[in-house]
Amino acid sequence: MFGSPTVANGVVYIGSVNNHKVFALDANTGHKVWIYTTGSAVYSSPAVVNGVAYVGSYDGNVYALDATTGSRLWKYQTGDWVYSSPAVEKGVVYVGSDNGKVYVLKASTGHKLWSYDTGNGSVESSPVVMNGVVYVGGGYNMYALNAGTGDLIWEYATTDYVYGSPAVAYGVVYIGSWDGNLYALSARNGTELWLTRVPSASKWNWLQFVRTRKGSCAPLSLFRSRAVTQCLPGRALRGTWILTFSNSPSPLVTISALSFVSK
């Protein structure tokens, strides 16, 4: 299994790469609730909203499955692998495809509302929808799209593939790239606020800092990682925060922490 599990109403939903299935398991016992077989590997992580599980498959389809019974409600063929995990917001499903497009589907029927062609390689990044804007990586770029129309608001070019998914907080978009950098961009216009080089790692690593009264960063602990000497000046960083490294470039921002995993 490659994707992340989703838990809703006492049920765990997870996709399988080896046998092409989506599993629903009782969260307390692990017993099977239902299994649905797609046409290929399921790298995508399910999104469960209003009694429906939405998930992508390498067969090119986005599936909507009844979260209780596993019966298929609809599927939509994108024409290429769907590695991306769907985001569901206000009755709309947002998902990327390896054909370089972002697809936006009506959650109840699977009808396509719009699509955006990045023209810049695969869209394996999972979209984030916030304040009427879709933030998603594709090829070497980060995109901000109007959630209602699909119009491009801004794009930002890194120097290598953006496979990871953005985190958006406090007006800042955080995104990692295979170029080894973590980028902080203005959510409003895509202006680069800062970037920092992140050490690569083959295993989980973590480094914790505390911000001192003078604004400097003092390391508290370090595990299997080279030291990072500078503080990351993201607007969300207050008090103690943690920087983590692993194999998939997706940042996570909380009130007091910024986490980033990198290959």
Answer whether residue 197 is part of any domain: yes
Grade residue 159 by pLDDT with cuts at 50, 70 and 90. very high
Give the three-state DSSP class for 55. Answer: strand
DSSP letters along 190-246, please?
Answer: --EEEEEE----SS-EEEEEEE-TTS-EEEEEEESS----SPP--TT--SEEEEEE-
Mean pLDDT confidence for 99-119: 97
Answer whether residue 119 is part of any domain: no
Evaluate the CA torsion angle 189, 131, 75, 251 in order and state its sign. positive
The 8-class DSSP code of residue 101 comes to: E
Does the pLDDT at position 223 exceed 60?
no
Answer whether residue 171 is part of any domain: yes
Q: Which residues contact 160 (CB under 8 A, 6 or more apart)?
A: 140, 177, 178, 179, 180
pTM: 0.79
Answer whether residue 250 is part of any domain: yes
Does the pLDDT at position 189 exceed 60?
yes
How many domains are there within the chain?
Answer: 1
Residue 131 CA to residue 129 CA, distance in Å, equals: 7
**CB atoms < 10 A from the CB of 170, how many?**
12
Answer whether residue 212 is part of any domain: yes
Does the pLDDT at position 176 exceed 60?
yes
Does the pLDDT at position 59 exceed 60?
yes
Answer whether residue 34 is part of any domain: no
Answer whether residue 236 is part of any domain: yes
pLDDT digits (tens, 9 = 90+) for 111-147: 999 999 999 889 999 999 999 999 999 999 999 999 9
Grade residue 3 by pLDDT with cuts at 50, 70 and 90. confident
The 8-class DSSP code of residue 257 comes to: -
Domain that holds residue 184: 167-263
Mean pLDDT confidence for 11-29: 95
Q: Are the beta carbons of 256 and 239 closer than 8 angstroms?
A: yes
Answer whether residue 40 is part of any domain: no
Instruction: Give the end-to-end CA distance of the chain in Å, rounded to a whole number.
Output: 19
Give the three-state DSSP class for 153. Answer: strand
